[in-house]
């Protein structure tokens, strides 16, 4: 089940930005009598996704400037980040990565901080609006401007995008981080993922996207999985790189 998200003008100051978001991403603006639910608004200088229902968790945004994340970006490299090792980055080699499930761009920023050029493809207009706003703020801050310069956002469905690439445009690496099925109780997802799970549900077709990725990547495909989850249906991964709560399944191509 997925839920419609409406734009909610937060204040008169933000009205012009809301109108621009509605135009740019073809998003509906909430009517005055709209029942409570998912809302996208502009507040504290950022585009935010929240839920107007009483008791809902606070809003989220694409944020590359959080102090803990900045510290992580400062040390991102093959030694510290399993993802960076998984894409095959090593001394003198920084492959170009197509992140086919862009989301809020955290994984892509880790790769870009390690020196990889990254194209982020995101099909949800709401998530793309959050991501574009986060990238814009990152571009305006000297601590992240260089990293942001290696990140390029494409608002599209990755399967269609990959299939339309000419051979000489194919990426070295395709990275997939599909939405997990929602969890209950103690294992419930963290706050940001709860809004995203309401908005997006869980991805129905990661195996189809894996098949397309395998046909397009020059060097490898990397899939993020929960640590104990089975691999995606399809060929067996050639390598697995463990993380704390996740792991990266690596499918090598010819290179």
Ligand X SMILES: C[S@@+](CC[C@H](N)C(=O)[O-])C[C@H]1O[C@@H](n2cnc3c(N)ncnc32)[C@H](O)[C@@H]1O
Q: Which is nearer to ligand X, 77 or 180 (CB)?
A: 180
Handedness of CA 25, 205, 234, 104 (dihedral sign): positive
Interface residue list for ligand X (CB under 6 A): 100-101, 103-107, 121-124, 127, 157-159, 177-179, 200, 203, 209
Partners of residue 225 on adjacent β-strands: 247
The encoded tokens of residue 251 equal 């499918």
What φ, ψ does residue 122 adopt, rounded to 5°? -135, 130
CB closer to ligand X out of 158 and 219: 158
- In the bound state with ligand X, the residue whose beta carbon lies nearer, of 82 and 178, is 178
Give the shortest CB-11-to-ligand X separation in angstroms: 27
Q: How far apart are CA 8 and CA 253, in angstroms?
A: 46
Q: How far is the CB of 236 from ligand X (least distance, A)?
A: 22
- By beta carbon distance, the residue nearest ligand X is 103
> Closest distance between ligand X and the C-beta of residue 156, in Å?
7
Of 207 and 255, nearer to ligand X (C-beta) is 207
Cα-to-chain-centroid distance, residue 174: 13
Q: What is the DSSP letter of 64?
A: S
User: Shortest gap between Cβ of 83 and ligand X (angstroms)?
Assistant: 9
C-beta separation of 132 from 108 below 8 A: no
Q: Which is nearer to ligand X, 9 or 82 (CB)?
A: 82
Residue 232 Cβ vs ligand X, minimum distance, rounded to whole Å: 13
Residue with Cβ nearer ligand X (56 or 154) = 154
CB proximity list for 226: less than 8 A, separation 6 or greater: 180, 245, 246, 247
Query: For residue 135, what are its two tokens?
Result: 């990238």
Smallest distance, ligand X to C-beta of residue 162, A: 9
CB-CB neighbours of 70 under 10 Å: 15
């Amino acid at each position: 089940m997925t839920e419609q998200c409406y734009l909610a003008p937060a204040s008169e100051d933000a009205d012009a930005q809301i109108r621009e978001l509605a135009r740019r991403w073809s998003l509906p603006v909430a009517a005055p009598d709209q029942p409570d639910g998912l809302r996208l608004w502009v507040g504290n200088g950022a585009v935010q996704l929240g839920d107007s229902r009483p008791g809902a968790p606070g809003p989220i945004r694409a944020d590359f400037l959080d102090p803990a994340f900045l510290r992580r970006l400062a040390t991102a490299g093959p030694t510290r980040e399993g993802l960076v090792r998984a894409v095959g980055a090593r001394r003198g080699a920084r492959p170009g990565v197509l992140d086919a499930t862009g989301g809020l761009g955290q994984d892509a920023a880790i790769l870009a901080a390690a020196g990889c050029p990254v194209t982020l493809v995101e099909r949800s207009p709401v998530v793309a609006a959050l991501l574009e706003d986060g990238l814009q703020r990152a571009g305006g801050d000297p601590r992240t401007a260089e990293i942001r310069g290696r990140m390029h956002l494409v608002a599209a469905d990755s399967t269609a995008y990959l299939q339309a690439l000419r051979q000489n445009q194919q990426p070295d690496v395709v990275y997939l981080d599909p939405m997990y099925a929602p969890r209950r109780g103690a294992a419930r997802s963290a706050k940001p993922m709860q809004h995203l799970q309401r908005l997006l549900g869980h991805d129905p077709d990661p195996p189809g996207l894996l098949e397309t990725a395998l046909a397009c990547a020059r060097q490898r495909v990397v899939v993020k999985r929960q640590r104990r989850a089975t691999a995606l249906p399809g060929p067996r991964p050639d390598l697995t790189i463990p993380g704390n709560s996740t792991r990266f399944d690596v499918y090598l191509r010819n290179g």
